[in-house]
Every structure is written in C-alpha cells, then in structure tokens.
Amino acid sequence: MIEFILNDKIIRTNANKSMTLVDFIRENRNLKGTKIVCREGDCGACTVMVGELSANQSSVKYHTITSCISSLANAHGQHIVTVEGLNLANKLNQVQQSLKDNYASQCGFCTPGFVVAMANYCLNDNADNEQQMLDAISGNICRCTGYVAIINAAKELVENCREQGKKYTLEQLIKHNFIPKYFASIKNNLKKIQSDYQRSGEKIIAGGTDLYVQQADTLLQTPNLRYITLEQGQPIIIENDTCSISGLATVTDLFENQELQNRIPHLQDFLRLLSSEAIRNMATVAGNFVNASPIGDMSAIFLALDATLLISHKDKNREVKLKNFFIDYKKIDLKENESIAKLWFKLPTKNSHFNFEKVSKRKHLDIATVNTAIHIEVKDNKIVHCDLSVGGVAAIPKFLNKTVDFLIDKEINNDTVKQAIDVMNTEITPISDVRGTAEYKRLLANQLLKAHFIKLFPKSILFDAT
C-alpha cells in the first residue's frame, strides 16, 4: 500500500504503484488544477511540491518535481502539494496575488505550475535570492504571457517573503498568507506515516526521468519493480580526499552539497546545464550512467573524475571503473538484477583543476550536442595527471585514453593543445543526426578541448580566432 499526504489529506491507496503521480492526482483524486502538456518533464505544467521529513525529523524540506514522469510509489511517506493545496479559504495567496498584480497570467494553463514552483521557493530554506528563484521556475514554460511579467512577479516574491534580511519561517509564511494553515501540522502527520516501504522487485525505478519518458505505459504492466528512492541512505559522504556518492543521490544532492562545491568550483554552474530544478530534484547520478546516453552529462563529469562504481546484487559486490562500464551503444557492464550501490572518486586538490563544457541547441533545458569534462593536475607548468571525457562523438560517453596519454608530461601551451586535438580526432567517431552533422560535432569537440585550457590556464593559452 502507498501512503502519503496529498495537500491536507492522508491517502492510503492500492492503486497501481507505477502509474504516474499526475494521473493519480487528476483521475483518482479529481484534482484537475495540475495540468498535463508534454508528459515528458519539459514544460512544468504538472509541477507539484514534495515535502520530506528532514533526517532528524525536526522539519519538512520541500522541493518540486514534474508529476508526469514520477511514479505514484515515489510519493510514499511524503507530503505532495498540488496547486489546490496552496489555496487559502477566501482570498488569493501571496504567490497568486503577485502573479495577478503583475499581469503574469493570460490563458492560465501554465499558471498552476508557476504558482507551485514559486511557492516552493518561498518554503525552501536553501533558496534566498533572485538567482535561486529563477532556478525554481527554470522548468516552467509559458507560451502566451511572456516571461517579463512572470519574472517581475517572481522577483517581487523574493523581496516579499523576507523580513529584516531573513527569509520567512513556515509560521511567518502562514501568517502572511503565503500558504494555508494546515502546513503547520504536516511534520507531525508525516511522522505517523509508515515510511518503511517493503522493497519488492528487481527492475529499478529511481527518479523515473528516463524511464517514464520512454516507457510510461509499459511500466504500468511491469510487475516486480523496485522503487529505490524509497530506500534509506546518506547521499554524499566526503572523507579526507575521497567523495562517495550513493546510488540514490540526485543531481540536486550534488548541487546543494557545500563541501563538494568548495572542492569543485563552479559545480553549480555546470549542474545548472542539466535540465531544470524540478528534473534535477528527481534525476539520479546512477540513473544517468545506466541510461548510457552518449551525451549523459553525469557520465561526462564522473568519467573525468575517474569514478569507480560499486555494483551489487544481494550480498555480492564488485567494483568497476566508470571508464570500463560503457561497452558499446547502450551496452553497459551491468547484469540483470545488479544495481549501482555507490560510486566514489578522489576530489580535486589545490594543484588540480576541473572544468565541464556543454553545447546544446539551447543553452538551458536541453540535452548536449557535445559535452566534455577535464580534471587536470599541473606542476611547474607541466601536466602530471589528466582525466578527460567527451560525449556526443562516439557510441558511448568516451574517456579519451590516447589524448590523456599524450598530455602527460607536456607543458601547458598552445602547441600542446593543438597536438592534443590531433590525437583526440583519432579516437572520436561522431555521426550525423538531428543534433548536428559529424563534421560539426568534431569541430565542437575540438573547440571545447581548447575551451578547457583557455578557461583553466588563461595566462598560458592564447588562441587566435582560427
């Protein structure tokens, strides 16, 4: 049985666990405020809030998801808030009011998604500036109002949900009409829900952001599914120079980890290039590897961090280097019933540098045409260690073995980079497809290798425009 709180009501249901949450909300509960447009996680019309008890059960932490590609099962033990759950008894809440005051709604189809995403910003302790508000609505598309009015409303809210420099607490948000009163009782009600969900099946569903886009109907008929986000585990552990990441960790877990950001400067800028905040809240790192897309951003990043995977089945564990995990197009070193329990890698040191580059048809909310990451250690202007990956130019996310071998012991200068590009060209095999011709992708890979060096070593590298 799945048990969770939907707005102010406890739900206990034996409905098909793999149905999408949006279908349960709209068809089973008749709450039609949550809209469906793309059913692929791309537009944000179906955005709902998910509240989870913090580890010490002292508060409820909220984030957004797109409910069209999330399973009903993943709602277990949580507080799901739809646009109806934000309504006040006799007046508009502050988020609705702000959208109204700024003329930020026209046909209104996208509006419930924006209301939920903006309200979530107000509730989210980790968000307290305009950039974070823009992140919060980054996955919401409006096709008629125009974004200026919506962004004006959003900016107004950033100011209005704080007092004397401090973000409103839950109690203040209730008092100032941002959210209804019942939010105050959610923490205690969540504690009463049986959060121990018996794992059953073997076929893994994590965030569902790949599976539900491709196989939503098939999943409805698939018995024996294992919803791993319901399992417990600390997502990220940093000890000395090693970072270990659980198979359950989401992209947002990486995004919010302060120590990881200290060790990998610009990490948040890199991760912002992976879809929207709502998708990052669901998408797991392990799911990105197993999907094995040649342009997976997590694959490119963790190849360049030379990650090792711990692969498990029951009591048996084995270790596989990520660079050996990808065998051929969508063929990976993972047997039926095995799962990625965790991965780990050595963190960049003060002598080493990390960079990630991605070119897509649109800068944001798009998958890569070509992506690449590098982790490079330099002493006395000589390269002493390098790991380098590139995606979109081969059947797999590619670790560039030959280019790395070439770079070791070389000085950082223009000639080294030019020669490295020649070596790279011998080990990539781009093909033409909807994202670009083979020649274009080769050119991109070449330019992005230059971009790594220009960004990381601006004093040593000076390319002319050719």
Ligand X SMILES: Cc1cc2nc3c(=O)[nH]c(=O)nc-3n(C[C@H](O)[C@H](O)[C@H](O)COP(=O)(O)OP(=O)(O)OC[C@H]3O[C@@H](n4cnc5c(N)ncnc54)[C@H](O)[C@@H]3O)c2cc1C
Applying CB under 6 A, which residues contact ligand X?
40-42, 69, 204-211, 213, 228, 247, 274-275, 279, 282-284, 286-288, 290-291, 296-298, 339-340, 367
Beta carbon nearer to ligand FES, 282 or 295: 282
- Considering only 25, 48, 68, 373, the residue that binds ligand FES (CB under 6 A) is 68
- Considering only 108, 234, 324, 426, the residue that binds ligand FES (CB under 6 A) is 108
Determine, following the binding rule CB under 6 A, whether residue 151 of this chain makes contact with ligand FES: no
Determine, following the binding rule CB under 6 A, whether residue 36 of this chain makes contact with ligand FES: yes
CB of 398 to ligand X, least distance (A): 15
- Considering only 12, 91, 100, 143, the residue that binds ligand FES (CB under 6 A) is 143
Determine, following the binding rule CB under 6 A, whether residue 19 of this chain makes contact with ligand FES: no
- Considering only 28, 106, 339, 419, the residue that binds ligand FES (CB under 6 A) is 106
Beta carbon nearer to ligand FES, 139 or 287: 139
Beta carbon nearer to ligand FES, 44 or 51: 44
Q: Taking CB within 5 to 8 Å according to partner kind, which of ligand X, ligand FES, none is near residue 247?
A: ligand X
Beta carbon nearer to ligand FES, 42 or 253: 42
CB of 44 to ligand X, least distance (A): 9
Q: Taking CB within 5 to 8 Å according to partner kind, which of ligand X, ligand FES, none is near residue 189?
A: none
Token pair for 370: 């070509």
Q: Taking CB within 5 to 8 Å according to partner kind, which of ligand FES, ligand X, none is near residue 297?
A: ligand X
- Considering only 109, 344, 440, 457, the residue that binds ligand FES (CB under 6 A) is 109
CB of 328 to ligand X, least distance (A): 16
CB of 105 to ligand FES, least distance (A): 5
Which region, judged by CB under 6 A, interacts with ligand FES, from 83-91, 139-147, 252-260, 376-384? 139-147
CB of 147 to ligand FES, least distance (A): 9
Residues at the interface with ligand FES (CB under 6 A): 36-39, 41-46, 66, 68, 105-111, 142-145
